[in-house]
């Protein structure tokens, strides 16, 4: 096949065939097609889009460009969950133990955090001794024994996605819904689970900031998963404020434990239950939302969900004692209150900025190889709509290195808008898209 001809075909808005897409992906991964030609193709896709069939074929070609996990040795239904990212979004480590306690196996490969969003792998690594680097046989064994396992993505998982994403990042073609959907779903298909539930975030702390784009992305990914033979559903949820109260790796593990032992409720628990309910329904373990919620509440109040988390931690060389003694987690030397400069109602929170504030303290990274401090971060004391008086604590900063403290505090205060009139609170869950929808 002639690569310039295929680029021209896409530039003119003509769909690429299955064979043409597979040719392009396989030869690019093999190093036979140069970056400059694939860059031109990506820009053509950005301008002209892709049909549903093209997007599905691109996703499958990317998924099959490397290893595809074989989970057949794990008995029962295997589920995977993915969030498009946000601030204080610790749902994975609440959802996975909950559904595992209800009889659904969770086999998840996760990535690290970058920018203002936190990574599940980074959170887990704040647990003393915890190893995210597991062989496939150990991964399968842990899922079989504990009901769940979360590990880092292997180097050979969807290598086409790694190459294409790096190219999209430097050619300004990241914000293309077909390319975003193919990137996410290629990794989900390669991990081999039967059931996939997606949490697509929208709002000022999310990648898809407007609701129509988030819904479009969710629907696109559900269609891809369905065409690939997966049971899949998606939720579109709000990210106009941090989902949980704690922003930072060990701090988020503390909040996860508080939710699983019944000490904390709120938006983080609500969204976690919504995602977990979809997993149980999509996998056939529950027939309706009410039934799913009953199972999940029982898993939580009985202590089974927290026990599942402890068993996974032990199986992956971590200290399971953290679930009973969170003080075993890393803690920062200083706790510094940030107070309101005026009184009124919290009208707006710039969520991405809050995430960046935690990153400035050392909780996040600019580049994937940057080190992070697992102990530092921010504990939010107030949420949208809350009334505050001047001098009242808005958040507590957990700090080890004061070098960038002032910068982070000043940015945080700019992130919070306090006005006299009350704020209109956003919805928490905007839409649920079922795996059997025909759209």
- Catalytic center residues: 82, 161, 168, 183, 187
Q: Can you tell me which residue has the tokens 């390669």?
A: 190
Instruction: Count the neighbouring beta carbons within 10 Å of the beta carbon of residue 271.
Output: 26
Residue 238, CB-side half-sphere exposure with 13 Å CA sphere: 17
Query: How many whole angstroms separate alpha carbon 13 and alpha carbon 34?
Result: 22
Kindly report the backbone phi and psi dihedral angles of residue 235, in degrees, each rounded to the nearest multiple of 5, phi listed first.
-115, 145
Cβ–Cβ < 8 Å for 74, 101: no
Burial of 198 (0-12, 13-18, 19+ CB in 10 A): buried
The 3-state secondary structure of 310-336 reads HHHHHHCCCCHHHHCCHHHCCCCCEEE
Torsions phi, psi for 346 (to 5 deg): -70, 110
With vertex at residue 148, the alpha carbon angle to CA 144 and CA 153, rounded to the nearest 5 degrees, is: 105
CA atoms within 13 A on the CB side of 79: 32
Give the Å distances, CA to CA, from 430 to 212, 286, 339.
11, 22, 32
> What are the strands, taking DSSP E only, across 34-135?
78-83, 105-110
Per the structure block, which two tokens stand in for 347? 């009208």
> Strands, E, within 203-305: which ranges?
231-238, 246-247
Q: Report the C-alpha gap between 388 and 340 in whole angstroms.
A: 7
- CA proximity to 318, closest of 152, 129, 146, 139: 129
Determine the length of the chain.
439
**H or E, element range at 183:** helix 177-190
Spatial separation of the C-alpha atoms in residues 299 and 352, rounded to whole Å? 33
């Amino acid at each position: 096949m002639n690569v310039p001809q295929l680029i021209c075909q896409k530039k003119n808005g003509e769909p690429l065939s299955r064979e043409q897409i597979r040719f392009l992906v396989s030869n690019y991964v093999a190093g036979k097609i140069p970056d400059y030609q694939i860059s031109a193709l990506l820009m053509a896709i950005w301008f002209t889009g892709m049909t549903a069939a093209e997007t599905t074929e691109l996703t499958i070609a990317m998924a099959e460009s490397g290893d595809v996990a074989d989970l057949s040795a794990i008995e029962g239904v295997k589920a995977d969950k993915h969030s498009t990212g946000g601030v204080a979004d610790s749902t994975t480590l609440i959802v996975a133990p909950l559904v595992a306690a209800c009889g659904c196996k969770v086999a998840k490969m996760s990535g690290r955090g970058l920018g203002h969003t936190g990574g599940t792998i980074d959170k887990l690594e704040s647990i003393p001794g915890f190893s995210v680097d597991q062989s496939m046989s150990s991964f399968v064994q842990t899922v079989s024994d504990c009901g769940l396992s979360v590990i880092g993505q292997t180097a050979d998982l969807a290598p086409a996605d790694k190459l294409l994403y790096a190219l999209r990042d430097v050619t300004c073609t990241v914000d293309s819904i077909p390319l975003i959907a193919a990137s996410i779903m290629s990794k989900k298909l390669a991990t081999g689970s039967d059931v996939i539930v997606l949490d697509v975030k929208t709002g000022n702390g999310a990648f898809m900031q407007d609701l129509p784009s988030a819904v479009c992305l969710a629907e696109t990914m559900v269609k891809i998963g369905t065409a690939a033979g997966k049971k899949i559903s998606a939720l579109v949820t709000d990210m106009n404020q941090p989902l949980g109260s704690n922003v930072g790796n060990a701090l988020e593990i503390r909040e996860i434990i508080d939710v699983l032992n019944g000490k904390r409720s709120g938006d983080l628990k609500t969204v976690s239950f919504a995602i977990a309910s979809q997993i149980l329904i999509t996998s056939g373990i529950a027939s309706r939302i009410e039934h799913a919620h009953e199972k999940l509440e029982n898993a939580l109040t009985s202590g089974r969900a927290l026990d599942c988390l402890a068993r996974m931690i032990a199986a992956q060389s971590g200290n399971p004692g953290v679930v009973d003694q969170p003080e075993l987690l890393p803690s920062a030397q200083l706790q510094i209150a940030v107070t309101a400069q005026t009184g009124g109602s919290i009208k707006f929170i710039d969520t991405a900025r809050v995430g960046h504030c935690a990153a400035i303290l050392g909780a996040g990274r600019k580049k994937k190889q940057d080190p992070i401090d697992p102990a530092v971060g921010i504990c939010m004391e107030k949420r949208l709509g809350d009334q505050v008086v001047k001098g009242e604590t808005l958040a507590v900063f957990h700090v080890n290195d004061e070098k960038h403290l002032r910068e982070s505090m000043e940015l945080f205060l700019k992130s919070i808008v306090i006005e006299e009139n009350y704020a209109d609170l956003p919805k928490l869950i905007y839409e649920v898209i079922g795996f059997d929808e025909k759209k």
